[in-house]
Structure 1
Amino acid sequence: MNDPIPDGALFEGDAGRFELPLRQALVRLLRGPYVDGTGDAKLWQRILDRREDISAFVSELFLHLVIDEDRKIALLAPVEMDEPHTTPIAPRRPLRREETLLALRLRLLLERHAGTGTDPVISRAGARDILEEHRQPGAVDDKRLEELTDSSLARLLALKLVVPTELEHEYRVSAALALALPFTTIDEIPAYLAAIERTDAGSVPLDEAPSAASAVDDDLFEATETKENA
């Protein structure tokens, strides 16, 4: 006969100290890519109320809790360390060139909608137009452009940086994109776009940015860049 589970334990052999709701919040954060407080008010409030406990716990995994109370977005981002075995447990693959270009253009769109009270949206046709603007010199394969449009949108959808709307082929730009690309000013973005346009079709890591510890947190995605921190 099994021994009874001690009071406060959630399962046999449970050595944890957090209650079930807080553990569930940790799972949501660790699962990623972020928590949107507008979609779950109770979860959002729990993260705010227990931010110190959450921060202490995720620090053991070389992560830190990032909260944007204005946008109601919370996510876990990796700390910057040179020692081995300190990288994220399950790092995501870097964004490819076109995915990065689209993300940067949508970051501009998000900034321009700030304070309007409306959510910026992008259609598939609009995404295609953006990628067509940034085509590599000599690229004329329209079929390839269509494929890149679909794959780029699919990647941003998977990262929840864009989310579907009730209209087919129309997407809302998530406020989380502002945390994924935390530029001090949007005036910096055109220089990044120009740098990416000069890259080849492969993925190029954008680990550093002049305006932030990291232009793209690996917990969300890695993007592209050529500069070093000042």
Structure 2
Amino acid sequence: MSDTTPAPVDDTAGFADTAEVDDFGTVPQDEVRDETSFALFEGDEGRLDEPQRRAFVALLRHTYVSARTHADEWRAVLDAEAQLRSRLNDLFLELHVDRDREVAWKRQARSESQRRAFPTLLRDVPYTREETIVLVWLRMRLRADTRPGPDQVVVDRSEILGHVAGFLPAGSTDRTRDEARVASAVDRLVRARILLRTSDPDRFRVASVVEVLLPLERLLELDTWLRTATSDGGEVVDGAAPGLQAEPADTDDEGEPAA
């Protein structure tokens, strides 16, 4: 005859591999994972997920973020534009997003009241004479190009040097100094990702972000200034173009693709 005595029932069945039950059969609160938390390290109270944080850092570190230079961060900007704008506003910065050109950048917020000055994280560093000449020329090249898609215009270092030479004094004999200044201008524009490196160290793609830096009305104003300065004195005087400011250039090449 078989034994029909019921086996003892394990009241904890179904909770294995989870958390130990308390006297009321519920999981202790401190053992429940907060699925809404974005914590990435101990003590982390941030409210952005990891892709959004990486986009936030990229916006702070670089002159701009684009679909070409930082594809993942650009997608995060599109997905969390409001959150990132809020975080930047907390730092007295403004977020600008151009979806047509697929580029996002920051600017220092300006107070509407002359009596209030905001603390700043950015320094306005004027472009030099050579940098201004190159920027205007690059913008002209982009304006003349009709091919679809961003960053399609390619320029050679020798083209840049030849163009800037037209604005130097006719009697200049220090060719080495002049070329060094142009080389320095090119290097800065490369660090700022206005000129994008290619597999050839002397060839660069022109980033469409230059259209943001120099909208058409600003381009015409600077072109007039350059022509007037050159015709009056035979050369563009040292110093920056009036009112043309730039943020500090990037100091690394992270995320920059070779074309």
Q: What code does the residue aligned with 2:184 have?
A: S
2:248 and 2:176 map into 1 onto residues whose CA distance is 32
Asked whether the 8 Å contact 2:161–2:179 carries over to 1, the reply is: yes
Q: Shift of the alpha carbon at 1:13?
A: 3.0
| Closer, same or farther: CA 100–143 of 1 in aligned 2, 3 Å | same
Q: Which runs of 5+ in 2 are unaligned?
A: 1-30, 251-259
Larger radius of gyration: 2
Q: Shift of the alpha carbon at 1:30?
A: 0.7
2:65 and 2:222 map into 1 onto residues whose CA distance is 25
SS at match of 1:154: helix
Q: Which whole-Å deviations, capped at 9, do the CAs of 1:143-162 have from their partners, x for residues lacking one?
A: 11211121111111111100
Question: Is structure 2 residue 75 aligned with structure 1 residue 42?
Answer: no
2:218 and 2:131 map into 1 onto residues whose CA distance is 21
Q: TM-score, normalised by structure 1?
A: 0.78
Determine the structure 2 residue equivalent to 1:228.
Answer: none
Equivalent position to 2:208, from 161, 168, 175: 175
Q: Which whole-Å deviations, capped at 9, do the CAs of 1:124-145 have from their partners, x for residues lacking one?
A: 1111111101114643321112
Q: TM-score, normalised by structure 2?
A: 0.70
Asked whether the 8 Å contact 1:35–1:73 carries over to 2, the reply is: yes
| Closer, same or farther: CA 10–196 of 1 in aligned 2, 3 Å | farther
2:123 and 2:185 map into 1 onto residues whose CA distance is 19
Q: Which runs of 5+ in 1 are unaligned?
A: 208-214, 222-230
Determine the structure 1 residue equivalent to 2:165.
Answer: 132
Determine the structure 2 residue equivalent to 1:165.
Answer: 198
Q: Shift of the alpha carbon at 1:97?
A: 0.9
Asked whether the 8 Å contact 1:78–1:217 carries over to 2, the reply is: no
2:173 and 2:242 map into 1 onto residues whose CA distance is 27
Asked whether the 8 Å contact 2:194–2:207 carries over to 1, the reply is: yes
Question: Is structure 2 residue 160 aligned with structure 1 residue 123?
Answer: no
| Closer, same or farther: CA 185–150 of 1 in aligned 2, 3 Å | closer
| Closer, same or farther: CA 195–24 of 1 in aligned 2, 3 Å | farther
1:95 and 1:188 map into 2 onto residues whose CA distance is 15
Q: Shift of the alpha carbon at 1:113?
A: 1.3
Question: Is structure 2 residue 192 aligned with structure 1 residue 155?
Answer: no
Asked whether the 8 Å contact 2:125–2:248 carries over to 1, the reply is: no
Question: Is structure 2 residue 144 aligned with structure 1 residue 112?
Answer: yes
Number of matched pairs = 209
1:77 and 1:167 map into 2 onto residues whose CA distance is 32
Q: Which whole-Å deviations, capped at 9, do the CAs of 1:146-197 have from their partners, x for residues lacking one?
A: 1112111111111110011122311111111111222347544421323665
Identity of aligned residues (%): 27
Question: Is structure 2 residue 82 aligned with structure 1 residue 52?
Answer: yes
Bigger CA drift: 192-201 or 63-72?
192-201
2:229 and 2:126 map into 1 onto residues whose CA distance is 14
2:248 and 2:86 map into 1 onto residues whose CA distance is 18
Asked whether the 8 Å contact 1:92–1:220 carries over to 2, the reply is: no
Q: Shift of the alpha carbon at 1:94?
A: 2.2
| Closer, same or farther: CA 172–196 of 1 in aligned 2, 3 Å | farther
